[in-house]
């Protein structure tokens, strides 16, 4: 449901499809590359783990 009456329905459908794809990428990254793992007591360790996971995910997508 939306209140955007000035937007064409096809454009709106495409917008939400792209948004769904982006959320699928986030879910895939969390599940396969430890994106939800933040159990270290220091922020820097969690940040480095997240960056390494993002790097691994991008490399995976590049080689796919």
How high is the pLDDT of residue 35?
65
pTM of the model: 0.52
pLDDT in tens, 22-39: 787 777 777 776 666 777
Q: State the first-to-last Cα distance of the chain, in angstroms, to the nearest integer.
A: 35
């Amino acid at each position: 449901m939306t209140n955007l009456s000035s937007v064409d329905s096809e454009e709106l459908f495409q917008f939400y499809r792209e948004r769904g794809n982006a959320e699928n990428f986030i879910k895939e990254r969390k599940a396969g590359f430890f994106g939800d793992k933040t159990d270290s007591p220091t922020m820097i360790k969690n940040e480095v783990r997240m960056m390494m996971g993002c790097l691994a995910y991008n490399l995976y997508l590049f080689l796919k």
